[in-house]
Chain A
Amino acid sequence: MTKDEIFSGVQEIFRDIFDEDDLVIQDSTSSEDIEDWDSLNHINLVSAIEKEFKIKFALGELVSLQDVGEMITLMIEKMK
């Protein structure tokens, strides 16, 4: 799976969770940029990503991530 494919898959998840069909995310997108991105929705995001990409994040792995770009880098790492 290419980075672009992962990126667009993640974007679809963001659109579903935040119910905004035209939401566009970038590497630099963080919880600062999306109003509803609170801790509860964060769990929703992570859980949807885990399901969709069949990966599992370890405890604490997500805590230090700053933005979407870093998250996708971690995902690529996991899918190798």
Chain B
Amino acid sequence: MNSILNYPLDNAKILRKKKSIRKALIANGHFTQKNIAILGGSTTAEIKNIMDLFLLKNGIEAHFYESEYNQFYEDAVFNTESLTTFNPDIIYIHTTNVNIMQFPQACDSKEQVNALHDAEFKKFQSIWQALSLLNCPIIQNNFDLPQNRTLGNLDGYDYRGKTHFINNLNNAFAEAASQIEHLHLNDIHYLSSLIGLNTWFDRALWYQAKYAIGFSAIPELAFSLSNIINAIFGKTKKCLVLDLDNTCWGGVIGDDGTSGIHIGTETAVAESFTSFQKYAKSLQERGIILAVCSKNDLNNAELGLAHPDSILQRDDFTAFKANWEHKHNNIIDIATEINIGLDSLVFIDDNPAERDIVQLNTQEVSVPNVGSDVIQFIDYIDHNGYFEAITLSTDDLNRHTYYEQNKQRNDAQSTTTSYADFLKSLNMNAKINAFTPLYLDRITQLTNKTNQFNLTTKRYTMSDIEAIASDQQYITLYGRLSDKYGDNGLVAVSIGKIVDDTCHIDCWLMSCRVLKRDMEMAMFDALAQQCLQRGIYKIVGYYIKSKKNSMVAKLYKNLGFTQVDCSGDNTQWEIALTQDYNNKNQHIMVTHD
């Protein structure tokens, strides 16, 4: 039933069968509860219904607040009280070009048009400002173009044109969203042009029911929104796993040899594979990990990538499985090697039998039915929103390098005699400090996507983290780790809440790329020192079991805590600190600002 909510969407079927789709989704899943407020500039009932389905598909059971018809402005600016009571996790502002107060008229001067632009933009600014009190992410539509242009093509470049006016507003929205951390744009300007303005807007439906969007466009809109929400909650994919023969190049390298495969720009077929490789390469450049999973001899596989016209090089792949094993076993190995969950992988293979067997055996992996024609592959990756992002952090851009360095470390490990010697040989340096504005973004991102080394799996919004960073009641720590192979970036976060004379560890997490490096010890040492400085001698730790964090179930025990409580799989631990606290970390040189 999940597949109906993937690209390409069968919009008519989704709309018609939404009730039975919902039942099926509810029946087979566990859900996180989220409150979602929809502030609409037109009717939103069906948008809400279909959004609900896409969110359920992604493991989110949403509770909705809907503003009264066209009350988006009033609700945001004057009615924040009832929104505050609702306590939204996300606010979605569904406005479109029908909500533009006044378009330019043919007799307007340039100054008058600028004034109209400013008035419109300020109205939205005041909405965002009022809503920022609610400390939650805001998703704002930009504007779709109207279907008709009184000025014809001139509408796009004369300052009195509606198209021109909307384009300027969209630029202003884009600028605002890049400035305001918690403001995210839902690009309906793109979406409406992708599906066509004639499908996007349905005049009859607008007159009859005040829907500013055609019914068959609603699933597309809801899909787009659910992708942004996925990105906000850190649920997007991290790794693209590619088959080689007839996926990355045309033909079979083992049979056809380097000169026989289709890649390059010589023929149409070759060009289509080249363009797929370019797309994969551009994903890699923005931080998506690439892996190969191919039934091939290793040397043949490498030969194919060594083709002079190949865009993708052997080094672009962080994991490389070319052998004759079952692909699902290779995919499990890839996930283990890179240290990410199976649900972070997307697998692309032109062979339907291989896709089926992988999907059957590793259900968490996303295996879109891409067909067998490479021309379609990009759309299946792109329009499914697997790699939707709300920011591009430096860490994202460097991710590939981190995994590369990790491989070098692993190699070094196998040539060093003892593990302690290996750690020593790494010459590790850590910076551990209280949260600073520069890193709030990355810290928020980590709290939302770290699953394995995460004691409480508490998710925080950017605003939560800002609030905590400036609250004296909290001890906040982030840790960066570098070694002789390079900088791992910001990889660890701890949040301790001081209540009376006790520090409660609300959040403790670490990126898996620095597992078993003593970094967790260093983080605990820093927390203990902070406690002692504040005269706090008791620390309480919580382990809240999730599907993925069993690796830290015994962490507190190993650190010398005593278990004081237990409910189900969740445990609570305590430790008493003394002034002569001995650091547990042996191998990392730690500095504090």
Inter-chain contact B20/A51, CB cutoff 8 Å: no
Inter-chain contact B17/A51, CB cutoff 8 Å: no
> Whole-angstrom distance between the alpha carbons of A29 and B70 in the complex?
33
Give min CB distance, B508 to chain A, whole Å: 45
Inter-chain contact B20/A19, CB cutoff 8 Å: yes
Contact with B along A21-41 (1 / 0, CB 8 A): 000000000000000000110
| Interface assignment of A13: CB less than 8 Å from any CB of chain B | yes
| Interface assignment of A11: CB less than 8 Å from any CB of chain B | no
CB neighbours (8 Å) of B215 from chain A are: 43-44, 47
Inter-chain contact B12/A16, CB cutoff 8 Å: no
Inter-chain contact B17/A16, CB cutoff 8 Å: yes
| Known contacts A44-B46, A51-B216, A52-B12; A39/B19 CB under 8 A | no
| Known contacts A44-B15, A47-B215; A59/B208 CB under 8 A | yes
Inter-chain contact B207/A16, CB cutoff 8 Å: no
CB neighbours (8 Å) of A57 from chain B are: 204
Inter-chain contact A43/B208, CB cutoff 8 Å: yes
CB neighbours (8 Å) of B211 from chain A are: 43
Give min CB distance, A39 to chain B, whole Å: 7
Inter-chain contact B207/A59, CB cutoff 8 Å: yes
Range of interface residues on B (Cβ < 8 Å): 10 to 19
CB neighbours (8 Å) of A44 from chain B are: 15-16, 46, 215
Give min CB distance, A41 to chain B, whole Å: 10
| Known contacts A13-B16, A19-B19, A19-B23; A43/B204 CB under 8 A | no
Contact with B along A47-69 (1 / 0, CB 8 A): 11001100011110000000000
Inter-chain contact A51/B12, CB cutoff 8 Å: yes
Contact with A along B186-224 (1 / 0, CB 8 A): 000000000000000000110111010001100000000
| Known contacts A16-B20, A19-B20, A19-B23; A47/B15 CB under 8 A | yes
| Interface assignment of A72: CB less than 8 Å from any CB of chain B | no
| Interface assignment of A6: CB less than 8 Å from any CB of chain B | no
Contact with A along B266-301 (1 / 0, CB 8 A): 000000000000000000000000000000000000
CB neighbours (8 Å) of B12 from chain A are: 48, 51-52
Main secondary structure of the interface of A (DSSP, over half): helix
Number of A residues near B (Cβ < 8 Å) is: 17
Interface centre among A40, A47, A56, A57 (most CB of B within 10 A): A47
| Interface assignment of A17: CB less than 8 Å from any CB of chain B | yes
| Known contacts A16-B17, A48-B15, A48-B16; A43/B209 CB under 8 A | yes
B contact residues vs A (CB 8 Å cutoff): 12, 15-17, 19-20, 23, 45-46, 204-205, 207-209, 211, 215-216
A contact residues vs B (CB 8 Å cutoff): 13, 16-19, 39-40, 43-44, 47-48, 51-52, 56-59
A39-B209, A40-B45, A48-B12 are known contacts; what are 12 more A-B pairs with Cβ within 8 Å?
A: A16-B20, A17-B19, A40-B46, A43-B46, A43-B208, A43-B209, A44-B15, A48-B15, A51-B12, A52-B12, A56-B204, A58-B204
19 contacts between A and B (CB under 8 A): A13-B16, A16-B17, A18-B19, A19-B19, A43-B46, A43-B208, A43-B209, A44-B215, A47-B15, A47-B205, A47-B216, A48-B12, A48-B15, A51-B12, A56-B204, A57-B204, A58-B204, A59-B204, A59-B207
